[in-house]
């Protein structure tokens, strides 16, 4: 490998056979180029989808109750199930370590909200401070509800940008102003904005303790909303959320005396399962790209071996001459392989560098919704280059070996 | 003086006999038929001889040369080169012997067409493991010897037939072989060029190099010192001749 004499011989051969070298190199370089670009786009699509889900807090679990559909332990079907505060506190404390954000929700369907002469009907929801993060709400002014508000039953309210523009027509600063919800005064402490858009902004938020007390909710709650702690990979997160869903569901069914197979009384919406469908799709697409890429590599290998075959055929006479002059069979094999490995290596890296440069410079300029930052794992790229080099060497070996075994007299007769 | 003592004779024998062949047989398989090409050749060449091997096509002369050149192996019989028995050769050893002991000159020159004249001449030295600088120096001195020093950097297709053959001769000499084997060296050349090449071969022989020339041209054969005639795989005639100097014909 480090025999300088042999390197000189190789370089001489390469420099005197430029077309041959170029053709071999081209098939290798283009193979690598196409593979890297395909894998990069696959990665970009995954990034794009992942970003779509990030926007909607992908791993939210949402519990809501309905009417029982089955008779169970002597209780009639058709009972309305209502969750209580202790359901929430039990789940919160039991799964303390698993939960990232948690909130129970007490909702008053359409409350009339009035400020001075303006009024409108909005959804009023009593929530915990974590609810801001469950909804991915951003604060534009003031603050969200905090635990102190909760403890002290403060009559405070967080309104949305939309409600602000509906009610505060004169451009007053809403913070510190009082608005009336069903004729009860609440102090505005903050203005939020929701990435879900206008529809999501037709709500005002109160501390749940205040809401239950003021609006006669006793200790009833409408919904539970949770996010689980982030996991390293999607599969783990999905398994975790499915386990959690199952356990919460069976706990609530037992506590509220619902048949275990009653599907309408307790509903848990697991958005991760939605996400999973998209990730499965992406995985399919990536799998497809890998398939195409591997086929490209195979085509590259076949191309390289074809060229090697032609090269060896073309050099049969030269090999005969070299053998007559005293070249040992091994030195013939080494000569052919050394040359082919050298060319495939250089060409492979040229293809790699071009494709990486393209992904690097053109990638960030791609602004479609479903492809974000196409890139490729460098070690994957490097290993494909090595696979191609090794495959090229193996492909080159057999014709070289055959050539080395040709008797020199036969080779010399070859015109 | 060599005959005075048996052991001394043995020494003389080793000193002077370059090639010795005994009972050489060779047949080729052609489909289901087997063609018996050499049918028992006994033949020896002393050091410094210039021998022509003649015969019509199919007489076995090329086969004999290929066996002498270790490009092919005999089925039967012994072959001794400068006291070294040549038998049970594997490819590797045959390659090494070819490289050290033999120089080849072919009818179709067999130069490597992408290498310059100089690099062609240097090639056997590459396989001897001689360093590049030294290789180039030696190759250059042989190119000078054949009168082509000014053509060193030219590719074979820029040379005339005679020049190509002279490069091939320089290449055959470069590894300083014991025997030069020439297979129809003038077969592809016109008469004038043939004689020039033969003049070169005679000059090399004058320096003491053992040379075997396979030819079917009588005028070329007359320029050697001994003519061996082959017919149907047997030597039918082996006579020393009065060498005609090629230069006198040019």
| pLDDT tens for each residue of A127-174 | 999 998 888 888 888 999 999 999 999 999 999 999 998 888 888 889
Torsion region of A214: left, alpha or beta (phi above 0 gives left; psi -120 to 50 gives alpha): alpha
| Domain of B95, in residue numbers | 48-75+85-249
A264 lies in the same domain as A178: yes
In this predicted model, what pLDDT tens digit does every residue of A350-399 receive, in sequence order? 988 898 888 888 877 776 666 777 777 778 778 877 887 887 788 778 88
- The answer to whether residue B33 sits within a structural domain is no
| Domain of A47, in residue numbers | 4-53+278-413
- The answer to whether residue B12 sits within a structural domain is no
Helices A378-405 and A271-314 meet at what angle, rounded to 10? 30
In this predicted model, what pLDDT tens digit does every residue of A335-357 receive, in sequence order? 888 888 888 888 888 988 898 88
A234 lies in the same domain as A289: no
pLDDT-derived band at B4 (thresholds 50, 70, 90) equals: very low
> What is the structure's pLDDT at B1?
42
Would an 8 Å CB–CB cutoff place A71 in contact with chain B?
no
Mean pLDDT throughout A40-61?
72
CA-derived radius of gyration, chain A: 35
A287 lies in the same domain as A409: yes
Distance from CA of A393 to the nearest CA of B (A): 23
Domain boundary residue among A255, A271, A287? Answer: A271
- The answer to whether residue B95 sits within a structural domain is yes
Q: If DSSP codes are grouped into helix, strand and coil, which group holds residue B214?
A: strand
> What is the structure's pLDDT at B79?
92
A147 lies in the same domain as A191: yes
A236 lies in the same domain as A168: yes
In this predicted model, what pLDDT tens digit does every residue of B107-150 receive, in sequence order? 889 998 888 999 999 999 988 888 888 999 999 999 999 999 99
Instruction: For residue B197, give the nearest of B243, B157, B146, B244 by alpha carbon.
Output: B146
Lowest mean pLDDT among A158-162, B57-61, B161-165: B57-61
Q: Among A9, A13, A407, select the one facing B72 at the smallest CB separation.
A: A407
- The answer to whether residue B27 sits within a structural domain is no
The total number of structural domains in chain A stands at 2
Distance from CA of B246 to the nearest CA of A (A): 28
CATH code for the domain of B193: 3.40.50.300
> What is the structure's pLDDT at A415?
55
A169 lies in the same domain as A121: yes
A247 lies in the same domain as A337: no
**Distance separating alpha carbons of residues B204 and B187, to the nearest angstrom:** 19
- The answer to whether residue B4 sits within a structural domain is no
A156 lies in the same domain as A19: no
The answer on pLDDT for B38 being more than 60 is yes
Mutate to test the interface with B, among A324, A331, A410 (most CBs of B within 10 A): A324
Q: Among A5, A323, A325, select the one facing B132 at the smallest CB separation.
A: A5
Per CB-CB distance under 8 Å, the chain A contacts of B123 are: 322, 325
> What is the structure's pLDDT at B150?
93
Lowest mean pLDDT among A21-35, A73-87, B61-75, B213-227: A21-35
A359 lies in the same domain as A235: no
Q: Give residues 303 to 362 of A whose Cβ lies within 8 Å of B.
A: 317-318, 320-331
With an 8 Å Cβ cutoff, are B115 and A16 in contact?
A: yes
* CB of A347 closer than 8 Å to CB of A26: yes
Domain boundary residue among A271, A304, A336? Answer: A271
User: What percentage of chain B reaches a pLDDT higher than 90?
Assistant: 50
Q: Among A8, A17, A405, select the one facing B132 at the smallest CB separation.
A: A8
The answer on pLDDT for A94 being more than 50 is yes
Considering the entire predicted model, what is its pTM? 0.64
- The secondary structure element, H or E, covering residue B127 is helix B117-128
The total number of structural domains in chain B stands at 1
Q: Among A320, A329, A415, select the one facing B91 at the smallest CB separation.
A: A329
> What is the structure's pLDDT at A53?
64
A258 lies in the same domain as A293: no
Q: How many A×B Cβ pairs under 8 Å?
A: 68
- The answer to whether residue B21 sits within a structural domain is no
A193 lies in the same domain as A154: yes
Q: Which residue has the higher pLDDT, B166 or A274?
A: B166
Mutate to test the interface with A, among B64, B91, B109 (most CBs of A within 10 A): B91
The answer on pLDDT for B63 being more than 70 is yes
Cα of first residue to Cα of last residue in chain A, in angstroms, is 32
Lowest mean pLDDT among A183-197, A210-224, A387-401: A387-401
**Distance separating alpha carbons of residues A161 and A191, to the nearest angstrom:** 6
User: What percentage of chain A reaches a pLDDT higher than 90?
Assistant: 13
Mean pLDDT throughout A400-410?
80
> What is the structure's pLDDT at B89?
80
- The secondary structure element, H or E, covering residue B43 is strand B33-46
A138 lies in the same domain as A38: no
> What is the structure's pLDDT at A148?
92
- The answer to whether residue B25 sits within a structural domain is no
């Amino acid at each position: 490998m480090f025999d300088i004499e042999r390197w000189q011989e190789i370089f001489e051969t390469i420099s005197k056979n430029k077309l041959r070298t170029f053709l071999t190199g081209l098939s290798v370089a283009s193979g690598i180029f196409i593979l890297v670009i395909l894998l990069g786009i696959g990665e970009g699509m995954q990034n794009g989808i992942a970003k779509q889900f990030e926007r909607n807090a992908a791993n939210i679990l949402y519990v809501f109750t309905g009417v029982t559909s089955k008779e169970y332990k002597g209780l009639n079907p058709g009972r309305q199930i209502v969750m209580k505060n202790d359901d929430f506190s039990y789940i919160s404390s039991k799964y303390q370590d698993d939960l990232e954000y948690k909130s129970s929700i007490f909702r008053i369907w359409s409350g009339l909200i009035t400020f001075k002469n303006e009024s409108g009907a909005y959804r009023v929801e009593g929530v915990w401070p974590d609810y801001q993060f469950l909804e991915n709400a951003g604060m534009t002014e003031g603050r969200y509800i905090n635990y102190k508000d909760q403890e002290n039953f403060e009559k405070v309210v967080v309104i949305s940008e939309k409600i602000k523009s509906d009610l505060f027509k004169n451009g007053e600063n809403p913070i510190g102003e009082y608005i009336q919800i069903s004729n009860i005064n609440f102090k505005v402490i903050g203005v939020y904005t929701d990435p879900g858009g206008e529809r999501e902004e037709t709500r005002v938020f109160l501390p749940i303790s205040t809401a239950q007390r003021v609006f006669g909710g006793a200790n009833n709650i409408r919904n539970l909303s949770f996010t689980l702690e982030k996991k390293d990979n999607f599969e783990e997160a999905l398994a975790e959320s499915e386990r959690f869903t199952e356990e919460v569901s069976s706990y609530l069914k037992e506590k509220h005396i619902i048949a275990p197979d009653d599907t309408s009384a307790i509903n848990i919406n697991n958005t991760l399962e939605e996400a999973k469908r998209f990730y499965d799709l992406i995985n399919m697409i990536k799998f497809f790209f890998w398939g195409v890429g591997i086929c490209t590599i195979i085509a590259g290998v076949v191309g390289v071996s074809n060229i090697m075959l032609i090269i060896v055929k073309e050099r049969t006479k030269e090999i005969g001459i070299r053998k007559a002059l005293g070249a040992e069979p091994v030195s013939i094999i080494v000569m052919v392989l050394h040359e082919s490995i050298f060319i495939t290596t250089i060409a492979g890296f040229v293809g790699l560098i071009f494709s990486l440069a393209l992904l690097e410079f053109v990638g960030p300029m791609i602004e479609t919704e479903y492809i974000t930052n196409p890139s490729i794992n460098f070690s994957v790229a490097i290993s494909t280059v090595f696979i191609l080099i090794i495959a090229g060497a193996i492909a080159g070996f057999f014709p070289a070996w055959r050539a080395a075994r040709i008797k020199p007299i036969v080779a010399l007769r070859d015109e | 003086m060599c005959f005075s003592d048996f052991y001394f004779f043995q020494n003389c024998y080793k000193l002077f006999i370059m090639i010795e062949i005994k009972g050489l047989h060779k047949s080729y398989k052609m489909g289901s038929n087997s063609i018996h090409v050499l049918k028992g050749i006994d033949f020896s060449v002393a050091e410094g001889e210039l021998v022509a091997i003649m015969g019509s096509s199919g007489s076995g002369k090329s086969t004999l040369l290929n066996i002498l050149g270790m490009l092919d192996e005999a089925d039967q019989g012994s072959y001794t080169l400068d006291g070294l028995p040549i038998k049970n050769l594997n490819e590797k050893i045959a390659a090494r012997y070819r490289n050290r002991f033999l120089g080849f000159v072919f009818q179709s020159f067999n130069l490597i067409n992408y290498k310059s004249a100089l690099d062609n001449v240097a090639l056997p030295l590459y396989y001897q493991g001689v360093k590049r600088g030294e290789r180039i120096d030696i190759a250059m001195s042989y190119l000078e010897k054949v009168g082509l020093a000014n053509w060193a950097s030219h590719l074979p297709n820029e040379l005339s037939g005679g020049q190509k053959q002279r490069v091939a001769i320089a290449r055959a000499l470069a590894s300083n072989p014991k025997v030069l084997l020439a297979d129809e060296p003038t077969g592809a050349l016109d008469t004038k060029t043939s004689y020039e090449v033969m003049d070169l071969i005679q000059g090399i022989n004058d320096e003491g190099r053992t040379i075997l020339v396979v030819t079917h041209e009588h005028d070329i054969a007359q320029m050697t010192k001994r003519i061996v005639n082959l017919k149907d795989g047997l030597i039918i005639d082996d006579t020393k001749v009065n060498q005609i100097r090629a230069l006198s014909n040019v």
